Amino acid sequence: MIRFRSFLLALAVLGEVTGLSLSAISGHLPAVAEEATPKAALPTLTEAQGQQILAIRSQGNDRFVEYTTQLIQAEQAMNALMNSATASEEQVRAKYAEVESWRKKIVDNEFETRLAIRRVLPPELRLPFAIKLQENIDRAERTFERQRKSP
């Protein structure tokens, strides 16, 4: 579950760090990048780079939604088989393999999306992106834990 949240956060953070928000497209850099490196040393993204990253994010998000939907359906089917009086162990194992396949596709999609964005990002923005991404992942995990613990 946290892995899915990480992917969504990566997509959101990318907009912050790379300057893909509406204000950033007009040439403003995000605050985290300014803190990590002097402003004069940071390049800005060209409009073409910004559009490439938006397209990569959109495609990655579309695949994420598709794979997550398939994963949920496969998990529900597997749970039904686990609770079935007539399902064989082979059927349950086959459905489990399908569930794991969808999980792997989600993780692979996250990696491939980040790698594709990395190819577009100037090297000077890669570290600020990674730092902000990790901060947001940590914050999301803390939020998730608080929500899980509260009644």
Average pLDDT over residues 67-76: 97
Nearest to 14 by CA among 49, 38, 39: 49
Instruction: Say what the pLDDT of residue 49 is.
Output: 87
Res. 103: pLDDT tops 60: yes
Q: Are 112 and 56 in contact (CB under 8 A)?
A: no
Res. 112: pLDDT tops 80: yes
Per-residue CA distances from 128 to 22, 84, 88, 147 (Å): 19, 50, 51, 29
Res. 21: pLDDT tops 70: no
For 117-133, the pLDDT digits (tens) are 999 998 888 888 788 87
Q: What are phi and psi of 98, to 5 degrees?
A: -65, -45
Mean pLDDT of the chain: 78
Instruction: Say what the pLDDT of residue 61 is.
Output: 94
| C-alpha to C-alpha distance for 103 and 113, rounded to whole angstroms | 15
Query: Is the four-CA dihedral 20, 114, 61, 32 of positive or negative sign?
Result: negative
For 46-61, the pLDDT digits (tens) are 889 889 989 998 999 9
Q: Measured in whole angstroms, how far is the alpha carbon of residue 49 from the centre of its chain?
A: 19
Instruction: Say what the pLDDT of residue 43 is.
Output: 63
Instruction: Record the pTM.
Output: 0.64
Instruction: Tell me which of 11-20, 73-82, 112-121, 136-145 is least confident.
Output: 11-20
- Would you list the domain boundaries of the chain? 2-149
